[in-house]
Amino acid sequence: MLNLQTASNSTLNWLLQDKEPKCSTASGFSQDVFFNHIRESYSLLHDLKTPLSNIPLQPYKACDYKGTYFNVVVEIECLLKDNADLFKHFLIHGSVSDMSWVNGWSDFDAMAVIRHTALLEKNRQRLLSVSYKLDALMRTVDPLQHHGIHFIHEFELNNFPNLYLPKNILSKAKCLLGSANIGVISSWQSGLLETTRFNAILHTLESASSSGILKHHAKNGQYLLEDFHNEKALYQLKYFLCIIMLLPCYWANLRGVYLDKPEAYQLLYSEIKDFDFEILKAATKIRKEWDINRTDAHSNKIPDWIKNTLGNSYLTRGHSFAKELSKKNVS
């Protein structure tokens, strides 16, 4: 059942995030095939009867965001209210929720819970249109954004993997649309997904270390190369740095522990004392100083201050970091 759910969720996000190859250019018949398949697949989750645990969410106030780096939140709220019949919840989380963002660096983290009825034929084109508008608004914040809004179906709340959003992180989210509480049933198979995710990252970094090419998140057909051999790769480099900073959280997840970044770093430093975490510290320093150095994201050129802070052989050092965590994943 979990494999069917994750496959359906991947297809749902391909449809609504308008990923390449673009769904928006597909024929109406092709779109209907995907929508019909997703709707029937998610119907299988509707019969789960386990009581949902209600998680209180943080209060949202539009006035907190007006005139700030995340001013677009207010526009998104208005668009959602005009299309409330399509969405059960729309949550913002991470730095956009706790307002700890770094101007120019922080991206837009959000999860949209779509209603089952939004997949009906009469609602599909409007759902696509609104989803694309939401995505476009989100990307005005950070030109280097690597991910879209995470769309999930309302029935997935009945079998909610921690991989989507752990409960402790979920409780720190704010709701732009929906109730002040969200009901979820955690999936008992979440650990399988988390192990698969960590091993996939480890494999990607191992391949990058040996080849000198990070074959993930290319821009204009170009991947990130070792030792800054392609200088116009800031988008690609930021993805790499984000992965490095998330690895401690994913490492903690392997133990069944769900923490935000500062908490995960504290656990990491306290438990592994025989490894130099310099690549993690360099990535964190770059994030902290991003706005201070007025980094130009639009040119995609890696500035000298980032080169000096990060140093060479970053793909090799990143792989060493991930490999060390993989050896210490048992509490």
pLDDT: is 177 or 30 the higher one? 177
Interatomic CA distance for residues 165 and 171, integer angstroms: 10
Interatomic CA distance for residues 128 and 134, integer angstroms: 10
Place of tokens 């430093």: 269
First-to-last alpha carbon distance for the chain, in angstroms, is: 29
Closest C-alpha among 219, 200, 176 to residue 74: 176
Listing DSSP states for 74-99 in one string gives: HHHHHHHHTTTTTEEEEEEETHHHHT
Work out the burial of residue 26: count CB atoms within 10 Å of its CB; fewer than 13 is exposed, 13-18 middle, 19 or more buried. Answer: middle
Place of tokens 């759910």: 5
- Do residues 242 and 318 lie in contact, with contact meaning Cβ atoms separated by under 8 Å? no
Please give the pLDDT value at position 49: 56
Share of the chain above pLDDT 90, in %: 69
- Do residues 194 and 261 lie in contact, with contact meaning Cβ atoms separated by under 8 Å? no
Using CA atoms, how far residue 80 sits from 210, 305, 307, in Å, is 46, 40, 41
Tell me which of 6-20, 23-37, 241-255 is least confident.
23-37
pLDDT digits (tens, 9 = 90+) for 43-71: 887 765 565 778 999 999 999 999 888 99
Please give the pLDDT value at position 331: 46
The tokens describing 314, both together, are 């970053």
Mean pLDDT of the chain: 91
The tokens describing 325, both together, are 């965590």
pTM of the prediction?
0.90
pLDDT at residue 9 tops 60:
yes
